[in-house]
Amino acid sequence: MTSLKALVQKSGTVWAAGAFDALSARLIQEAGFDALLTSGYGISSSFLGEPDTEIYTMSENLTVTRNICNAVTIPVIADIDTGYGNPINAMRTMREFESAGASAVIMEDQVSPKRCPCSSMQIDIISLEEGVAKIKAVASVRRNPETMIIARTDAVDPNEAMRRAQAYAAAGADIIQPISRCFKDIAGLRAMRQAAGVPLSLQLLAWLENDLSKKEIEEVAGIATYPLVALMSATQAMRENLKVLANSKSSKHLPQPVTSMHDFNDFIGFPRIDALQKQFMVSEQTVS
């Protein structure tokens, strides 16, 4: 498998989508994306049915991420939230997610437990000094130099975000990720890219998703991710079909098409398992 770092160096911009479980990860790979992101927003929603406020634990996030890494061959970017504590906690988090197969981790500089910028107007961030210490801490335990550290700053003031970008890159971050609320146009992102001295990671939400062209994104971003399209697509399709199914008690006239069981069986791997059973399982007829 080509490393994420090699892909960024080769292509300039790696395009990814957000997965919330192993099935969505397989579908992202099938669609042809370069890489995928384990969306904390999506994992919290699908695993617990709760909002992305760091209610799930590090080990619960790790379980989903490990399953995703085992299910695909494209690079996996792991959302590790705040690192789940202080620099020492973040060191363990880095080791665990790297061991699980993540090609990169995204760690943000919010106070733990975090609040999702998509839904909360109040965002509390740690001091610059603590943010730098946490980046240095996770960099110190990185076993594979190809594993990338993506430092996300949730600073909403552009000048503060650029100040932190410079400091985090100097501390060992390979890529810097601003939140969509911080900048309002491509000029701001260009300034952030120049200040950071390293490529940006953009999660394409709000105006970033609606207003920027592909060319503009590729001008500043080493990684460009659609983090929530898979989750929101699945939610909408299931919501529509299940409502009709509950009311009509019939699946004959569902508003959204469904995959046939035959096609799904092929996609999920039953033929592969059948072949393995024929290769390795002992037939009862051969047992005396």
**Residue-by-residue DSSP string for 167-213:** HHHHHT-SEEEE-TTT--SHHHHHHHHHHHSS-EEEE--HHHHHH--
The CA-based angle 119-124-125, given to 5 degrees, is 120
Give Cβ neighbours of residue 232 (< 8 Å, ≥ 6 apart).
none
pLDDT (tens, 9 = 90+) of the chain, 288 residues, equals 678 999 999 988 999 999 999 999 999 999 999 999 999 999 999 999 998 888 999 999 999 999 999 999 999 999 999 999 999 999 999 999 999 999 999 999 999 888 777 666 788 999 999 999 999 999 999 999 999 999 999 999 999 999 999 999 999 999 999 999 999 999 999 999 999 999 999 999 999 999 999 999 999 999 999 999 999 999 999 999 999 999 999 999 999 999 999 999 999 999 999 999 999 998 766 555
No. of helices (H) and no. of strands (E), the chain:
13, 8
Just give the CATH number of 4-234: 3.20.20.60
At residue 288, the pLDDT reads: 54
At residue 119, the pLDDT reads: 65
Active site residue 116: yes
Give the residue from 108, 51, 55, 50 showing the smallest Cα distance to 78: 108
At residue 11, the pLDDT reads: 86
Catalytic residue (one of 69, 116, 118, 182): 116
Q: 113: cis peptide before it, omega within 30°?
A: yes
Instruction: Indicate yes or no: pTM above 0.85.
Output: yes
Q: To which residue do tokens 């197969």 refer? A: 101
Query: What token pair was written down for 250?
Result: 């019939």
CB 134 within 8 A of CB 90: yes
